[in-house]
């Protein structure tokens, strides 16, 4: 099942493709008898080396017949744009990213890849996410060490001050 998610800017009379050709995952909800299809595209962000992922979720339900193969209908379509480190984007950042995608500023091209290429790119993407998280963890650890050293310095200064007064 392929999906083309076209973002149209009527003021500039431009359009941009934000979708992948193949879905990332397909799940069936047995309780509600719906199919949930997830598409993910990685786009350049606002900053030079920043990457964002555009996640499109399509919920398909059955028609009147009740069988899954017949009468599939689109029930819901949602789109979320998140940075790689899973923080939230502001509305202005989303507009900048979507405008760049519609104007083709970043030369993002979609093509059909075989499974090996998809797996290699996915591994590269996951490695990039792991490296960013490791860098954030190291920065947090360094910040905590600085705080501990500040407390030790204040304690030692207080002890020295008390020693001088006595």
Domain extent listing, the chain: 1-112, 114-166
Q: How far apart are CA 131 and CA 129, in angstroms?
A: 5
Task: Identify the burial level of 54 via C-beta atoms within 10 angstroms of its C-beta, where 0-12 means exposed, 13-18 middle and 19 or more buried.
Answer: buried
Is-above-0.95 flag for pTM? no
- How far apart are alpha carbons 84 and 45 in whole angstroms? 10
Distance separating alpha carbons of residues 123 and 115, to the nearest angstrom: 12
Tokens matching residue 15: 């359009």
* Per-residue pLDDT tens digits of the chain, which is 166 residues long: 666 677 777 887 777 766 666 777 888 888 888 888 888 777 777 666 677 777 888 898 876 554 555 677 888 888 777 776 656 667 777 777 776 766 665 555 555 556 677 778 778 888 888 998 999 999 999 999 999 999 999 999 999 999 888 7
């Amino acid at each position: 099942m392929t999906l083309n998610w076209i973002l149209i800017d009527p003021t500039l009379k431009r359009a941009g493709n934000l979708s992948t050709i193949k879905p990332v995952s397909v799940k069936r909800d047995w309780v509600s008898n719906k199919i949930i299809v997830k598409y993910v595209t990685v786009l350049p962000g606002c900053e030079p080396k920043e990457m964002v992922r555009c996640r499109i979720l399509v919920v398909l339900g059955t028609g009147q017949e009740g069988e899954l193969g017949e009468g599939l209908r689109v029930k819901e379509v949602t789109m979320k744009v998140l940075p790689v480190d899973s923080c939230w984007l502001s509305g202005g950042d989303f507009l900048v990213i979507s405008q760049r995608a519609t104007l083709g500023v970043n030369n993002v091209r979609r093509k059909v890849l075989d499974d090996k290429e998809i797996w290699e790119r996915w591994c590269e993407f996951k490695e990039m996410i792991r490296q960013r998280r490791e860098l954030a963890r190291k920065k947090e650890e360094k910040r905590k060490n600085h705080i501990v050293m500040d407390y030790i310095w204040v304690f030692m200064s207080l002890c020295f001050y008390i020693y001088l007064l006595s």
